[in-house]
Amino acid sequence: MEDFFLKIAILIVKLWIKTVSFNIIGLEKIKELKSNKVKIVFAIWHGQLALFYPMNNFIKGCGIVSKSKDGELATKVIKKFGFESVRGSSSKDGAVAIIEAEKYLTNGYDIIVTVDGPKGPRLKVKNGVVYIAKKFKCKIIPVVMNINRYKMFKSWDHFLFPLPFSRISLYIGDPIEFQSPNNKETVKNEAKQLEKIMLEMTERYANFYL
């Protein structure tokens, strides 16, 4: 019964988002990397995950989703919108998620990481995204999204959901590659560097979300 209502909800949402338009600024950066067979890890804020769906038109994406009950629901939903997923997080079953992520990367997928998830603190980049990128020699692409009409939920991440006839703008940041040793201290420092970049992008392109 739960799956039936989920299918109905997803059908309604799919009809709903057909009214939503989008614009991707910087898409040529991704096309260039893909033409050179560069592996990509997309870094996005947890609360902006629902605004990332237009990217399924341009990439094969796989999200890292927590093993919580909410994560189980998220896995079902993102699959309906064209993305694969692996289960795990920085705090639970992270090693399993990394092993599974490698399989997807080998098969031409890009990895999507909600950098301040699964439980926050909000807008604080955790180390996992940097660790994965360095381990598998990927470039990190930070993505910040803006939207003109939205519902913002009263959740820890200020989760955003597009309203009908809204317009989403996705801003693709410059590729980032960290080449220092993949140890705890350097990863921590580089996560802070990525956080600074993403906050600057958010301030410039999506100030309402700060």
pLDDT in tens, 6-58: 677 777 777 888 899 999 999 999 999 999 999 999 999 999 999 999 999 99
Phi, psi of 94 (to 5 degrees): -60, -40
C-alpha of 99 from chain center: 18
| C-alpha to C-alpha distance for 82 and 90, rounded to whole angstroms | 24
Confidence of residue 182 (pLDDT cuts 50, 70, 90): confident
Q: How confident is the model at residue 121 (pLDDT cuts 50, 70, 90)?
A: very high
Q: What is the largest CA-CA distance in the chain?
A: 50
Which of 5-9, 113-117, 191-195 shows the highest mean pLDDT?
Answer: 191-195
CA separation, residue 68 to residues 42, 64, 87, 118 (Å): 22, 12, 9, 9
Q: What percent of the chain has pLDDT over 90?
A: 68
pTM: predicted TM-score of the whole model, two decimal places: 0.92
User: Mean pLDDT across the chain, nearest whole number?
Assistant: 89
The number of angstroms, rounded, from the C-alpha of 139 to the middle of its chain's C-alpha atoms is: 14
